[in-house]
């Protein structure tokens, strides 16, 4: 079609009137690349993004699972092709050489030690250099990687900077290049390739059990249990579903892991998109905790009960999210809304009973509204207690009240906020409320407003 990169739109339209113009969407491209990286997880857990259009896969020790490097490469390219991508891939001993060869030659496998021979005829751009450096090198007649390799190192470094030789050394394997994988590499993982894709949640659960069983053996050898588990479901059409599970105590019991993922999958229900089925299922333990087997007593089953409670909390967490079951922790603050913090049970700080007792406050309501609700109040005297009020479209007549208890804002943290005068008031039916007046009368500005903050027993 004779169209080139960087061409103006008018020129392109003049050459090809039927052309379709779509704005570049770099974010969508990146999402796409990440989805592909997820998919590449099936070959190796070490997948790193390379700019906006490439992926690095560290396949050390993985290729034999696919019948050798040649078979791995052809299978990967075939699958990319089936998904509609034109991918170029090369396998080499160093990331730099693989990068250069993949982009210049397309499909190739560079055997170890032959890096220099493959790189020598390539243009300088193959070394992942800045365009200015490339231009400067070309200006002095160094047009290929081989030419740069041939010249003495010291003058080159002096004139063109360290980056040039660093890239060259990395490509030749003289300096190690660290790839930063996208996902944390799991401590342990077990996976199963399925000859026939599974399209049923129950079958997925059936695969999880043996996977957890093989994890268990490895965990027993380490004397550890899993704290974070990931279940990766690789779809036939390239999508990857990642389900993570946090546990409140280290676990290696396959039954329990199976149960928790059962809850997780049950909670997903219809929203789990299985497409044409999963052909690879991997269970990996991302973080471990020590788990020493305990000798069971003859009579006491207290530990068992404790384990049941932990399992219950994990199951609820797997089904509805980890924050669903939470624990109140007193906070050293005199503001009622700040005096309690809710933590998920596993993350709650461990306070001693003495610390808790010290932080407790007396004469506080039984239930506190999440947000104080404005009420219309009538008071006999401006600074006095309320006589009647209107809350949620109903009138209440107050027969008794106690107060005020003045609570000032935390001025050492924030400068805004007003003093609040809290009253405990009982209405004619015997309900007790915690009302407050925000601000004071007599100051310039708007009249103080009243709020209902909580209710007493």
Are 405 and 386 contacting, i.e. CB atoms less than 8 angstroms apart?
no
Question: 118 or 436: whose CB is closer to another protein?
Answer: 436
**Cβ neighbour number for residue 403 with a 10 Å cutoff:** 17
Triad 398, 400, 402: Cα angle to 5°: 115
Q: Is 151 in the site for another protein (CB under 8 A)?
A: no
Sign of CA dihedral 349, 350, 355, 359: positive
Judged by CB under 8 A, which of 18, 51, 430, 445 binds another protein?
430
Question: 147 or 455: whose CB is closer to another protein?
Answer: 455
Contact string 268-307 vs another protein (x = CB under 8 A): -------------------------------------xx-
Question: 85 or 343: whose CB is closer to another protein?
Answer: 343
Question: 14 or 356: whose CB is closer to another protein?
Answer: 356
Q: How far is the CB of 261 from another protein (least distance, A)?
A: 17
Size of the site for another protein (CB under 8 A): 54
Triad 318, 322, 325: Cα angle to 5°: 105
3-state secondary structure of 104: helix
Helices assigned H by DSSP within 239-294: 254-268
Question: 13 or 327: whose CB is closer to another protein?
Answer: 327
Q: How far is the CB of 169 from another protein (least distance, A)?
A: 57
Q: Which of residues 310-329 bind another protein (CB under 8 A)?
A: 312, 315-316, 319-320, 324-329
Question: 118 or 422: whose CB is closer to another protein?
Answer: 422
| Phi and psi angles of residue 229, each rounded to the nearest 5 degrees, phi first | -120, 140
Q: Which of residues 340-359 bind another protein (CB under 8 A)?
A: 340, 342, 345, 351, 353, 356
Contact string 113-142 vs another protein (x = CB under 8 A): ------------------------------
| Phi and psi angles of residue 105, each rounded to the nearest 5 degrees, phi first | -100, -25
Distances (CA, A) of 353 to 343, 356, 357, 358: 17, 5, 6, 9
What is the longest distance spanned by two Cα atoms in the chain? Answer: 99
Q: How far is the CB of 43 from another protein (least distance, A)?
A: 38
Question: 186 or 385: whose CB is closer to another protein?
Answer: 385
Residue 124 carries which DSSP code? Answer: G
Contacts of 454 (CB under 8 A, 6+ apart): 336, 364, 365, 366, 367, 368, 369, 433, 434
Rg of the chain over Cα atoms, rounded to whole angstroms, equals: 33
Question: 328 or 417: whose CB is closer to another protein?
Answer: 328
Q: Which of residues 364-423 bind another protein (CB under 8 A)?
A: 364-370, 392-395, 399-402
Return residues touching another protein (CB under 8 A).
Answer: 305-306, 308-309, 312, 315-316, 319-320, 324-330, 336, 339-340, 342, 345, 351, 353, 356, 360-370, 392-395, 399-402, 424, 426, 428-432, 454-457
């Amino acid at each position: 079609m004779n169209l080139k990169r960087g061409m103006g739109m008018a020129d392109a339209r003049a050459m090809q009137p039927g052309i379709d113009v779509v704005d570049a969407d770099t974010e969508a491209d990146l999402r796409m690349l990440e989805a592909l990286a997820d998919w590449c997880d099936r070959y190796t857990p070490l997948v790193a993004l390379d700019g906006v259009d490439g992926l690095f896969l560290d396949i050390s020790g993985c290729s034999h699972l696919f019948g050798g490097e040649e078979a791995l490469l052809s299978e990967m390219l075939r699958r990319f092709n089936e998904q509609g991508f034109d991918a170029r891939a090369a396998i080499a001993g160093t990331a730099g050489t693989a990068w250069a060869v993949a982009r210049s030659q397309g499909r190739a496998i560079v055997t170890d030690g032959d890096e220099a021979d493959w790189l020598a005829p390539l243009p300088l751009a193959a070394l992942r250099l800045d365009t200015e450096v490339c231009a400067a090198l070309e200006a002095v007649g160094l047009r290929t990687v081989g030419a740069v390799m041939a010249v003495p190192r010291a003058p080159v470094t002096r004139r063109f900077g360290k980056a040039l030789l660093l890239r060259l050394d990395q490509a030749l394997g003289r300096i190690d290049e660290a790839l930063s994988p996208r996902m944390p590499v799991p401590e342990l993982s077990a996976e199963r390739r399925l000859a026939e894709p599974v399209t049923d949640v129950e079958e997925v659960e059936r695969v999880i059990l043996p996977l957890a069983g093989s994890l268990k053996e490895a965990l027993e050898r380490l004397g550890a249990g899993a704290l974070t588990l990931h279940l990766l479901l690789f779809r036939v059409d390239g999508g990857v579903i990642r389900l993570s599970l946090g546990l409140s105590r280290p676990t290696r019991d396959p039954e329990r892991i199976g149960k928790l993922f059962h809850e997780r999958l049950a909670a997903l229900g219809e929203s789990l998109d299985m497409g044409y089925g999963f052909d690879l299922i991997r269970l990996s333990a991302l973080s471990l905790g020590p788990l020493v087997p305990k000798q069971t007593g003859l009579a006491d089953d207290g530990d068992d009960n404790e384990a049941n409670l932990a399992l219950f909390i994990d199951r609820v967490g797997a089904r509805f999210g980890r924050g669903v079951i939470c624990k109140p922790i007193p906070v050293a603050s005199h503001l009622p809304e700040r005096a309690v913090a809710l933590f998920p049970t596993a993350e709650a700080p461990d306070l001693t009973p003495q610390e808790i007792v010290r932080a407790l406050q007396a004469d506080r309501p039984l239930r506190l509204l999440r947000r104080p609700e404005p009420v219309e109040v009538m008071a006999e005297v401006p600074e006095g207690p309320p006589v009647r009020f209107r809350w949620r479209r109903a009138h209440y007549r107050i027969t008794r009240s106690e107060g005020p208890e003045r609570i000032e804002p935390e001025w050492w943290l924030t400068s805004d906020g007003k003093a609040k005068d809290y009253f405990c008031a009982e209405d004619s039916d015997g309900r007790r409320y915690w009302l407050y007046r925000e601000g004071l009368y007599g100051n310039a500005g708007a009249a103080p407003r009243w709020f209902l903050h909580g209710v007493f027993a």
